[in-house]
Structure 1
Amino acid sequence: MHTAQKSGLDQLPQVTEPRNPGMSLDMDWVMRARANRSAIERRAATLPGRRSVKKAHQAAWLARAISCIDLTTLAGDDTAGRVARLCSKARQPVRADLLDTIGMPGLTVGAVCVYHDMIAPAVAALQGSGIPVAAVSTGFPAGLSPFHLRVAEIEESVKAGAAEIDIVISRRHVLTGNWQALYDEMRTFRAACGEAHVKAILATGELGTLQNVARASLVCMMAGADFIKTSTGKESVNATLPVSLVMMRAIRDYHEATGFRVGYKPAGGISKAKDSLTYLALVKEELGDRWLRPDLFRFGASSLLGDIERQLEHHVTGAYSASWRHAMG
């Protein structure tokens, strides 16, 4: 078995291709970033009705969506037992007979995402699976704890076995236009992660404008983010297609300018199989097929998998099952 598979790192971008090292903060580039809200919203509105896949093609796309899910539990009443059950679902996200029928045996999710205290039971439950453990960090979800504690939290989560760290940025840096502070913060977080893969959560629902989203995306990538992510899932507005379009185009611009690919993760509010297909179609159109893999695209979701499993069962059997039959843990 390859070393990456043993360590659970095989799905990380720094293993499959050169990791984004970041660059010096280019304020000219940041300030040139604009977002035409009306045009972006028109473009996003056309996608759900324009893109449709059916039958075997739909089953294949839904299987791809499963492989890109960060199966997540971020509840105050999480226990080691609940996390172990979630990890069992991550290993076997869909009934084996259904996966065999659609030609996808051995399919797993992209990662399991938990709070720091649940890293150890998740790592134990996923041992040998090749599925990485992701941990939310830096005072998630508000990111307002003392800075040195946020950095220490990252270091402790890496030490505990997290292969991916989902950090939250300080929204005030974006809202006040303090791009140097955002860059410095992100560089420090990236350094604290070491070899672990870092996802920068922008909390786009709290950034005010799409232009702020575009600029924050660029700054975080310049500071070395491996992924940029929409939301914590705790904001009143989470992932949306307009925000996704802005962030994907920032990723595309960064790749064209530097040659480094940065991943994308929409999170919060994506719970239906048909919505996952829409997001995958947007990724394909804006970034290309290379991004349709778990090392460069993830869904932050807890309930999405259940609906996809129901759709796959309908594809195979012709009948829908009750949602309670597809519990996550």
Structure 2
Amino acid sequence: MHTLSPSTTQLPQVAHPRNPGMPLDLDWVAAVQANTSAIERRAATLGGRRSVKKEFQAAWLLKAISLIDLTTLSGDDTAGRVQRLCAKARQPVSPWMLEKLGMEGLTVGAVCVYHDMVETAVRALEGSGIPVAAVSTGFPAGLSPYHLRIAEIGESVKAGAQEIDIVISRRHVLTGNWQALYDEMCEMRAACGAAHVKAILATGELATLRNVARASLVCMMAGADFIKTSTGKEAVNATLPVSLTMIRAIRDYQDRTGVKVGYKPAGGIAKAKDALLYLALMKDELGHAWLQPDLFRFGASSLLGDIERQLEHYLTGHYSAANRHAMG
């Protein structure tokens, strides 16, 4: 059985230098293009080109668990729901399964909540090594007064969030105002202080893959530690073509600057087979380094339950009912 070392499942907050950013290079931004038909063809081949079975699939699914930002972002969130989610983050798979798989101690990558639930999550995760990520800056639309968006970041950091998922102003992308996007991202990065910042592009609202590529690059120039597809609240969230566009921007940025930036697809990734496709894409395009929680995350809520079902099938030969793998 190919398994992970338990030590690889604990998130190193700084496993490599953070992205320091760079001056805005408008010539570079203007030169960025995206061949939509070629990107879509490449993404469509993934399912047929990469397939893992049996113990190899189980090992990849265990890896996927360690990369999940276990998320609850609902208007009816309560302290009890967040506490149950945090308990699931600490023990994402039934103990008997982890023992059989040799993976005792496996946890998810982080727990992601609204600001109001940060303190509850921090207390519930105390001693676990699992960081709390807070969605901020007027999530999900990012249209609250700008000074309040900046203040919200500071409040979440003060409450104990180690990661901040910010939303960009989509209008800057749609109007090609790259200077405004860069300045906004720089100020948000500064407000995060020591907390890592994930820039949510809301790609389903950016109209074209070229806009996605250019927005990715500008956010990285401004110091984003991660770029993230979606809030999960848009009509279209993470897709393979969008992911391919964004991770190739990450590769170009690394080639030019030597800096590694993380990637987080979010929204609509609910099945174990989807997670395997994203892992294959990351390994093909960026290599093994981007299969660690300091450089790759899944933004998900229901994904973990399906992975747990698939692992139980691997161990027993039978599928259990989905309600046996609830989040809380």
Which TM class, normalised by the smaller chain length? over 0.9
Deviations 1:36-86 (A, max 9, x none): 000000000000122100011000000000000000000111111110000
- Amino acid aligned to 2:50: R
* Distance in 2 separating the partners of 1:77 and 1:249: 37
Q: In structure 1, what is the equivalent of residue 148 of structure 2?
A: 149
Q: How many angstroms does 1:236 deviate by?
A: 0.2
Deviations 1:121-142 (A, max 9, x none): 1000000000000000000000
* Distance in 2 separating the partners of 1:137 and 1:106: 30
Q: How many angstroms does 1:11 deviate by?
A: 3.0
Whether 1:253 aligns to 2:252 is yes
Whether 1:195 aligns to 2:198 is no
* Distance in 1 separating the partners of 2:249 and 2:288: 17
* Distance in 2 separating the partners of 1:99 and 1:57: 16
Q: In structure 1, what is the equivalent of residue 205 of structure 2?
A: 206
TM-score (norm 2): 0.96
Q: In structure 2, what is the equivalent of residue 176 of structure 1?
A: 175
Deviations 1:212-239 (A, max 9, x none): 0000000000000000000000000000
* Distance in 2 separating the partners of 1:149 and 1:46: 44
* Distance in 2 separating the partners of 1:105 and 1:46: 35
- Amino acid aligned to 1:117: D
- Amino acid aligned to 1:21: P
* Distance in 2 separating the partners of 1:11 and 1:78: 28
- Amino acid aligned to 1:11: P
Partner SS, residue 45 of structure 2: helix
Partner SS, residue 139 of structure 2: coil
* Distance in 1 separating the partners of 2:69 and 2:11: 15
- Amino acid aligned to 1:308: I
Q: How many angstroms does 1:10 deviate by?
A: 4.4
TM-score (norm 1): 0.96
- Amino acid aligned to 1:34: Q
* Distance in 1 separating the partners of 2:28 and 2:248: 14
Stretches of structure 2 lacking an aligned partner (at least 5 in a row): 1-9
Whether the 8 Å contact between 1:11 and 1:110 is mirrored in structure 2 is: no
Partner SS, residue 297 of structure 1: coil
* Fraction of identical pairs, as percent: 79
Q: In structure 2, what is the equivalent of residue 136 of structure 1?
A: 135
Whether the 8 Å contact between 2:11 and 2:293 is mirrored in structure 1 is: no
Q: In structure 2, what is the equivalent of residue 11 of structure 1?
A: 12
CA distance 1:97–1:232, change in 2 (3 Å): same
Q: In structure 1, what is the equivalent of residue 58 of structure 2?
A: 59
* Distance in 2 separating the partners of 1:10 and 1:242: 28
- Amino acid aligned to 1:49: G
Whether the 8 Å contact between 1:138 and 1:154 is mirrored in structure 2 is: yes
Partner SS, residue 149 of structure 1: helix
Q: In structure 2, what is the equivalent of residue 105 of structure 1?
A: 104
Stretches of structure 1 lacking an aligned partner (at least 5 in a row): 1-8
Whether the 8 Å contact between 1:99 and 1:105 is mirrored in structure 2 is: yes
Alignment of 1:1-329 (within 5 A): 10-12=11-13, 15-329=14-328
Partner SS, residue 77 of structure 2: coil
Partner SS, residue 165 of structure 2: strand
Cα RMSD, aligned residues only: 0.8
